[in-house]
Amino acid sequence: MIGAPLKNVIRYSLSGLPYDIWAFPGLIFILSSIVLLPPLYREFFDLRIHGKVLINIALTPHSKIKIIFSSLISAIIEALIVAIITGVLYTSFIPITFTLSNVLFFILCLILYLFLIGNLFIMVSLIIDTLTTAIITIAMIFLLIIFGNGFIIETSFFPIAIETFIKSQPLSIPFRLYQTFNQLGIMNYNLLFILLPINYLWIILNGYILKNKLLQ
């Protein structure tokens, strides 16, 4: 629904690819973000503000970091399953061919991205305590996801200042990694290894926030 109208506006990418082919990875990233949100929002916001989950979490023998990590893993697996099914359906209508290395690297980049956006969803769900603020914040995050990562509109279309911001914020790095590998066959190891400590430290931070919420 996003790609179809934009295809009539942006017929080809700057690299010369038909828009529906170029936008396919970005649409999967966006869909995965949508699928990832409900379980994390339910566990760390909805159940929390209604007092249905904190007591059970407080009694568990597992560390708060392990709780965060386990929740992320289960939500990411669900998002990956939906992404794979959607990808198969999409490619049955659009003539796209992928090598095995492209598919595997795409899945790796998608997983790294889902850890990033999942950590952001958890942080927002833990910090915010009012429904209206949570809805507004999540809506703003999805505006950033759709239009601020180069998923459906190439960053080169933006003014230089906005393009620089988009490329420098962490959520765009996994997609940039995949596009570089897909178009040029180059794997940027520097960007790849930057994402690992970011995700690790973010999980630790969310575990600390969760621990403080339990003490309140």
Helix axis angle, 173-184 to 24-41, nearest 10°: 150
Q: How far apart are CA 154 and CA 205, in angstroms?
A: 32
**What would the two tokens of residue 182 be?**
């897909």
Tell me the percentage of the chain whose pLDDT exceeds 90. 35
CA 205 – CA 190 distance, rounded (Å): 23
Specify burial of residue 140 (Cβ count, 10 A radius: 0-12, 13-18, 19+). Answer: exposed
| N-to-C CA span, the chain | 43
Per residue in 17-73, pLDDT tens?
667 777 888 899 999 999 999 999 988 888 777 666 655 565 555 678 888 999 999
169 φ, ψ (degrees, to nearest 5): -80, 140
* Interatomic CA distance for residues 190 and 150, integer angstroms: 20
Amino acid at 193: F
Weakest-pLDDT range from 46-55, 167-176, 190-199? 46-55
Q: How far apart are CA 175 and CA 144, in angstroms?
A: 14
Q: What is the pTM (predicted TM-score) of this model?
A: 0.88
pLDDT at 108: 93
88-116: per-residue pLDDT in tens? 888 777 777 778 888 899 999 999 999 99
Report the 10 Å Cβ neighbour count for 152.
Answer: 18
Q: Three-class SS string for 103-128?
A: HHHHHHHHHHHHHHHHHHHHHHHHHC
pLDDT of residue 146: 86
